[in-house]
Chains A and B, each alone.
Chain A
């Protein structure tokens, strides 16, 4: 299915949901469940919460079925809801942390360093795990909007226009967000490149 056809297909399915066809909602869920969960997971780096938020996303899609109008890409709308919920969750966590005055060493939401299983490639696995941890931390330290923009640009392969639609800002603002985010990642992860080349 071409991209254009897929977009039209999503909108068509949503219109059918609006008309009371719950099976079409099942199809939409089937198509977008994984991208939504992966996106939220990369944003907040916690699988259980990612699933909870993804459920809330689809619940809101379902609640809005009666008033749905296909005036933009379905995925833009879907990811606008997703991003809104993820950013809200991040904001609430920050507020909570501020109130509790907790000062953890690792950023909140960063998965704890996992000890690799014993085996022939223990060292390799530990190196990979540490490297992964660095990357996660660098992503987690990005400002929220920059992080969302990078996730959509890199993993969802959205174009600037679509990211701008999700974040409700101009295309040039998106370019600027992405440029600054990648700059920041480059400086934080530069040592990974050096360690590989050494």
Chain B
């Protein structure tokens, strides 16, 4: 047989060989090959070392809290007491039907972007109106107000709004991307159930 180490693709077979997870005939051919190939022997030794090192990462010594189940059931019980609309909202995202939440989420995202866009488009107008009214205002206004001109505060406001909204949008898009990745191609029970 060809040496698996000669090709990056077939080198993966060594993982299965190391785990003895190959069909019997392939395993036998690999046994013969490894006996003759020093590259493969070296690779196998390294892989075995990794496996034994990972064996040391033993989680069985972990003492799971004795009240784990009690806390879980308490949370379930608490959810049962939630108002109907809260449960409905939650089940929308924990539903087994991906189609149930995706359109709602997409529509919410689109509506959010539209509102944000409208807000940002109208903000400069509002600011300019505000500055106009400030200019037209009676001079009797206190000196403090005069010094705090709207022209100065407007860019600050816009920058803050931009920063916050972009962060929220970023976050929402990341979540959406993750949900799509996890629910997109699988054919499991409800794909992204409970996600």
Q: Which residues of A contact B (CB under 8 A)?
A: 14, 26, 29, 33-34, 37-38, 41-42, 47, 51, 54-55, 58-64, 66-74, 76-77, 80-81, 83-84, 87-88, 91, 128, 131-132, 135-136, 139, 150, 154-155, 159, 165, 168-169, 175-176, 178-179, 182, 185-186, 189-190, 192-193
Name the one of A62, A80, A132, A179 contacting B11, with C-beta atoms under 8 angstroms.
A179
Query: With A and B bound together, what is the CA distance between A80 and B76 in angstroms?
Result: 21
Name the one of A37, A54, A67 contacting B193, with C-beta atoms under 8 angstroms.
A67
Name the one of B12, B97, B174 contacting A179, with C-beta atoms under 8 angstroms.
B12
Please indicate the chain A residues that have their CB under 8 angstroms from the CB of B185 in the complex.
168-169
Q: Which residues of B contact A (CB under 8 A)?
A: 8, 11-12, 15, 21, 46-47, 49-51, 53-54, 56-57, 59-60, 62, 64-65, 68-69, 71-72, 75-76, 79, 90-91, 94-97, 174, 178, 181-190, 192-195
Given contacts A69-B190, A77-B189, A186-B47, contact A29 B72 (CB under 8 A): yes
Query: With A and B bound together, what is the CA distance between A58 and B183 in angstroms?
Result: 18
Q: In the bound complex, do residue B46 and residue A193 qualify as a contact, i.e. CB atoms below 8 Å apart? A: yes
Q: Chain A residue with minimal CB distance to B181?
A: A168
Q: In the bound complex, do residue A135 and residue B54 qualify as a contact, i.e. CB atoms below 8 Å apart? A: yes
Q: Chain B residue with minimal CB distance to A30?
A: B69
Q: In the bound complex, do residue A189 and residue B75 qualify as a contact, i.e. CB atoms below 8 Å apart? A: no
Closest beta carbon of chain B to A47's beta carbon, Å: 6
Closest beta carbon of chain B to A141's beta carbon, Å: 14
Name the one of A69, A155, A192 contacting B189, with C-beta atoms under 8 angstroms.
A69
Name the one of A26, A80, A193 contacting B186, with C-beta atoms under 8 angstroms.
A80
Q: In the bound complex, do residue A76 and residue B188 qualify as a contact, i.e. CB atoms below 8 Å apart? A: yes
Q: In the bound complex, do residue B194 and residue A64 qualify as a contact, i.e. CB atoms below 8 Å apart? A: yes
Given contacts A72-B186, A190-B46, contact A37 B94 (CB under 8 A): no
Please indicate the chain A residues that have their CB under 8 angstroms from the CB of B195 in the complex.
60, 80-81, 84
Task: Give 8 closest A-B pairs by Cβ, nearest first.
Answer: A67-B96, A60-B194, A72-B188, A63-B94, A38-B59, A64-B194, A64-B193, A193-B49
Q: In the bound complex, do residue A175 and residue B182 qualify as a contact, i.e. CB atoms below 8 Å apart? A: no
Please indicate the chain B residues that have their CB under 8 angstroms from the CB of A70 in the complex.
189
Query: With A and B bound together, what is the CA distance between A185 and B72 in angstroms?
Result: 36
Please indicate the chain A residues that have their CB under 8 angstroms from the CB of B71 in the complex.
55
Please indicate the chain A residues that have their CB under 8 angstroms from the CB of B54 in the complex.
135, 139, 150, 154-155, 185
Q: In the bound complex, do residue A165 and residue B186 qualify as a contact, i.e. CB atoms below 8 Å apart? A: yes
Please indicate the chain A residues that have their CB under 8 angstroms from the CB of B57 in the complex.
42, 132, 135-136, 139
Name the one of B64, B90, B190 contacting A34, with C-beta atoms under 8 angstroms.
B64
Query: With A and B bound together, what is the CA distance between A190 and B183 in angstroms?
Result: 38
Closest beta carbon of chain A to B182's beta carbon, Å: 5
Given contacts A42-B59, A47-B62, A62-B76, contact A168 B183 (CB under 8 A): yes
Q: In the bound complex, do residue A55 and residue B96 qualify as a contact, i.e. CB atoms below 8 Å apart? A: no
Sampled A-B contacts (12; CB under 8 Å): A38-B59, A54-B68, A55-B71, A63-B94, A64-B96, A68-B96, A71-B187, A80-B182, A81-B193, A159-B21, A168-B181, A169-B185
Query: With A and B bound together, what is the CA distance between A67 and B97 in angstroms?
Result: 7
Closest beta carbon of chain B to A69's beta carbon, Å: 5
Q: In the bound complex, do residue B64 and residue A33 qualify as a contact, i.e. CB atoms below 8 Å apart? A: yes
